[in-house]
């Protein structure tokens, strides 16, 4: 069996285990935040099997996951329930040795950060290759279109190399919030928290794909079909 199939099996096994551990049948009347991405979609499909799913309420960070939750028969609620979120499930694009994260590869970073900031407990699920010693990919930065040029210049002044995210025919990628994304590369990120605050201080920046809140639990899917649990 190829490693990609084993990794898929690991994610499926991981999703089943996460739902069993984190959402037992005794945990009724919870409000659950759902991030975005393929791993969260697998989690949602596992949640559909819960015998007590009708007692749970869900807030989704993206239309992709909202549609998946609808198909799975989960009860979706609006943003008024965000302050009551008990637990949020999400993935990550990279996780460094200090367990800071880069997120936003799918463009849902703004809503994902809102859910994570509100949740009493954060659970992150990611492939083992997403765990790195130091970040080695660009940072998604959501920007208001009106500020595209000036934010690009200011990102360069902070040592970044911004690149407008595009889709087919070179059209700009537009987030569900109507904004653009500047995927920005930095030669070094010695202080991730300081850089997050610095970038968020630029007028026109709506959100930064640096997530410095450490999750309570990380589920690490390995290429041999197994997974590891890291708790704090």
Q: What positions carry a catalytic annotation?
A: 112
> Which of helix, strand or coil describes residue 189?
coil
Angle between helices 38-47 and 3-22 (to 10 degrees): 50
Measure Cα distances from 77 to 50, 119, 162 in Å.
18, 15, 36
Pair of tokens at residue 56: 């749970």
Give the up-direction half-sphere exposure of residue 222: CA atoms within 13 A in the CB hemisphere: 7
> How many DSSP H helices and E strands does the chain contain?
6, 13
Answer yes or no: are the C-beta atoms of 189 and 134 closer than 8 Å: yes
> How big is the CA angle at 188 (ends 187 and 192), to the nearest 5 degrees?
135
What is the 8-class DSSP label of residue 142?
A: E
């Amino acid at each position: 069996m190829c490693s990609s199939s084993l990794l898929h099996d690991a994610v499926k096994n991981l999703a089943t285990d996460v739902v069993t551990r984190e959402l037992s049948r005794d945990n009724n009347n919870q409000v659950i935040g759902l991030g975005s991405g393929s791993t969260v979609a697998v989690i949602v499909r596992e949640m559909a099997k819960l015998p007590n799913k009708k007692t749970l309420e869900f807030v989704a960070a993206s239309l992709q996951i909202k549609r998946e939750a609808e198909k799975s028969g989960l009860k979706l609620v609006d943003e008024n329930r965000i302050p009551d979120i008990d637990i949020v499930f999400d993935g990550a694009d990279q996780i460094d040795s200090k367990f800071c994260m880069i997120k936003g590869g799918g463009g849902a970073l703004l809503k994902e950060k809102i859910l994570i900031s509100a949740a009493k407990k954060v659970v992150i699920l990611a492939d083992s290759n997403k765990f790195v010693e130091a970040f080695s990919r660009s940072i998604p930065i959501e920007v208001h279109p009106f500020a595209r040029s000036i934010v690009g210049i200011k990102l360069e002044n902070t040592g970044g190399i911004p690149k407008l995210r595009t889709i087919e025919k070179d059209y700009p990628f537009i987030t569900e919030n109507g904004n653009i994304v500047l995927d920005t590369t930095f030669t070094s990120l010695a202080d991730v928290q300081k850089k997050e605050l610095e970038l968020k201080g630029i007028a026109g920046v709506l959100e930064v794909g640096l997530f410095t809140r450490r999750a309570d639990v990380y589920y690490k899917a390995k290429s041999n079909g197994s997974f590891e649990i890291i708790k704090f």
